[in-house]
Amino acid sequence: GAVVSQHPSRVICKSGTSVKIECRSLDFQATTMFWYRQFPKQSLMLMATSNEGSKATYEQGVEKDKFLINHASLTLSTLTVTSAHPEDSSFYICSAYRGGEDTQYFGPGTRLTVL
Amino acid sequence: AQSVTQLGSHVSVSEGALVLLRCNYSSSVPPYLFWYVQYPNQGLQLLLKYTSAATLVKGINGFEAEFKKSETSFHLTKPSAHMSDAAEYFCAVTPFGNEKLTFGTGTRLTIIP
């Protein structure tokens, strides 16, 4: 299967600071990447769809000015949580679409804790 | 619009017994269906997928699933459970591979020694 990495795997920050999370497709190019959020013992909820070279498409209820997404290359998408608050603490998971297999592959996730 | 229902948030089976995890879907177009497995504090690993080819799909680790259009189901099975199968399992649906996945609420599988 395809390999998707995320960095960092865990981050703890103070309230009010910004945090950047990277999602990389290591062995394939991904024109489309997705960002999901998962609360404890719950399912994944899509936050936004990221297309290389264009603006991200956000799901209803997701603040685009708070969750900044940049998909600057075919192997890298970043999610920046701006002015993070404790309620932003969550597990953030990205996926990358591999066209040849018509399948999304997921990264290992980033656990964000905002104090 | 797509939706997924996973019956049973927790399933326990004995080691060596049959594993059956249920998934029913709703889709306005022929769906792509996926099963993913998640181990604690990790991302999702693809187990198998259905994309309008064979209705019986074989995946990794001995899992398989059967697409039944008449029942709008895509149940996951494994003939003999192993301790390493203990994890959270998610069923997901999408109209196309490059569109968002809609996930079920997940089923936590526990294996009894």
pLDDT (tens digit per residue) in B74-99: 999 999 999 999 999 999 999 888 88
- For residues A98 and A2, give the distance between their C-alpha atoms in angstroms, rounded to a whole number: 8
> What is the per-residue pLDDT for A90?
95
Beta strands in A8-98, from DSSP E residues, in sequence order: 10-13, 19-25, 32-38, 44-51, 57-58, 67-73, 76-81, 90-98
> What is the per-residue pLDDT for A54?
87
Count of A-B CB contacts under 8 Å: 58
pLDDT one-digit tens code per residue, A28-71: 999 999 999 998 888 899 999 999 888 899 999 999 999 999 99
Residues of chain B in Cβ contact (below 8 Å) with chain A: 32, 34, 36, 41-46, 49, 51, 90, 96-101, 103-106
B48, pLDDT greater than 90: yes
B53, pLDDT greater than 80: no
Q: Which three-class secondary structure state does DSSP give residue B15?
A: coil
pLDDT one-digit tens code per residue, A64-115: 999 999 998 999 999 999 999 999 999 999 999 998 888 899 999 999 999 9
Q: Which residues of B80-96 are buried (b: 16+ CB within 10 A; e: fewer)?
A: ebeeebbbbbbbbbbbe
Give the chain B residue nearest A103 (alpha carbons).
B97
CA A31 vs CA A103, B5, B88, B96: distances in Å: 12, 30, 29, 14
> What is the per-residue pLDDT for A1?
64
> What is the per-residue pLDDT for B1?
80
> What is the per-residue pLDDT for A107?
94
Region B22-47 average pLDDT: 91
Task: Provide the percentage of residues in chain A whose pLDDT is more than 70.
Answer: 99
Residues 45-104 of A with CB under 8 A from B: 46, 49, 59, 91, 93, 95, 97, 99, 101-104
Chain A residues touching residue B49 (CB < 8 angstroms): 103
